[in-house]
Chains A and B, each alone.
Chain A
Amino acid sequence: MLETIPNSSSFSVMATDDSMSDDVFESPQEISSLHAPSNQTTGTTPSPTGYRDYKPPIELYKSIVEPEVEIAHKTILLGDSGVGKTSLLVQFNTGKFQPGNFSATVGIGFTNKVVVVDDSKIKLQIWDTAGQERFRSVTHAYYRDAHALLLLYDVSSKTSFDNIRAWLGEIKEYAQDDVVIMLLGNKADCPSSERLVRREDGERLAREYNVPFMETSAKTGLNVELAFMAVARDLKSQKCGNPDDQKFNVQDYVREQTQKGSCPPCNT
């Protein structure tokens, strides 16, 4: 993060100076700042100082400016108390799982995570909410600004699965229409004797509401990275809104990724 800030600020100087007249040499300070980026990307960036009408090629321009407009995407973890929202986040953030240490989240936990999607950085601002009913009124307030929602249930708890419809109802009521939603059946590592929600049930519900679905395990790390990456990709494609780009489809992406790579154990 910190590294990109000085760069991007000097790039913006370049961008404005470029379109302006020949007073570029007047301040030595500016010169040094102008040269800094060109040193880093030797060869590819022609010196912007000499030519008045010079415009760098579009692609180059875009890739340089992008880190600067990096805005944080609000991603909220939702679901009943105890389904593993915090564990999922901790697994994603640190790659660790703390067994037998349930501690309900109090209010909302807040984590920043920068992920790289196709060489560009996506900043995810992840809000880990408390699942308990008493915090609902507090968390509702944050739905509105959310770009993405990860909705979790616990495959070993029927109630948490049954409540998903209520959650989706709340999301519809409080969140924006274009919010990215993903349904996750967590604790997929649980022994089949404890499993109470079949994979197909999750899939069916997801189809019904037209949201992507996958089973995850905060314990083993199954699909955890994928879930967040899929969100990041979707957010990126939404943000760019580039017509040339094929519209990114999370559902297809999730299907593709879960099928190849690591196929989850099919315990049904």
Chain B
Amino acid sequence: MKIHEYQGKKLFADFGMPVQDGYVFEKLEDAESTIKKVQADFNTEDVVVKAQIHAGGRGKGGGVKYSPNFDKALENAKNILGMNLKTHQTGEGGQLVRKVYVTEAYDIAEEYYAAITLDRSKGMDVFMVSSEGGVEIEKVAAETPEKIAKVWIDPLLGMKSFQARKLAYALGLKGDAFKAAMKILMQMYHAYQSIDATIVEVNPLILTTDGRVIVLDAKVNLDDNALFRHKDIAAMRDLNEEDPNEVEAGKFNLNYIKLDGNVGCMVNGAGLAMATMDIIKLAGGEPANFLDVGGTASAETVKNGFRIILSDENVKAVLINIFGGIVRCDRVANGVVQAVTELGLKVPVVVRLEGTNAKEAQEILAKSGVDIIPAVGMKDAAQKVVNAALGN
């Protein structure tokens, strides 16, 4: 799960990290009062107006504006709220800005980068810092990898001070700023651990002209599997930032991701679902979605899966590919018959059922009289569904 910058900063602040803070507004009529409150509470004339969307690259897309005074801040706030912000992470469609964060402004002397994430191949978390903050870290990694310092953290020991020291030295800090940075890095690790994050990233972490070290941005991704022990964080979920069909699918324990193609598919198991998308492409079609119905596909899940796939108007044919293990094919077949009867499908449906009770399933489909194209094996199924999508 992703959260907004202002939410990430709130979590960071809970762990003692000094963050650039402010207030959020969602309605235009609240813009004025929010800016004034930030100016008063943080004792500042200049502020920063920041679009709150989950995608990165907001600054480049025009979603973050330094504002030297109230009038400029109000103008920026009006422009940013409701804008369709396009960044390299939102794709062409962009993302509607529904929340704007007005924060205090700092005079920046240096910008750094700091992030913690999982290193899968080492089986440890890796803490990375760089003296080159404020820019895309991918670029630093590609062009000047020597400017990124890393430490790997033993999961049983946690981060040790010698590791934080190494990172703070790598930033070239001295004196009080060095001590402050070390403390922030330790707090950042503590936060990462405690909230079950999969990524925490601060870009930039700044040194102010008066020698303070401040967190200027916060990117926090959480482990969905651990949300059961963080009810407060789970409540931060912003459904507006997610695809409505994916949200709807989630309610029925379906794992759905919308793609741009013309062939819908419904499969049990993530690996088989990906392989099904791939073979549709090889057969000359384009997959319209990823949909894993999971290990307990019932008539009800099949029906809801159909409904969600068909809400995408690009879909010209649907392939159902089930390899029954625990899932019984006869139950899936009943679901297909029920769905086709109730929803009155307007596109061709190809069905391939294999594994537990596959024979019974084929009999159910044959007897039902519903208009379904049976297939044997994945190659046959892919070819048939692509032909159907093309109208052949």
Q: Does B bind A?
A: no
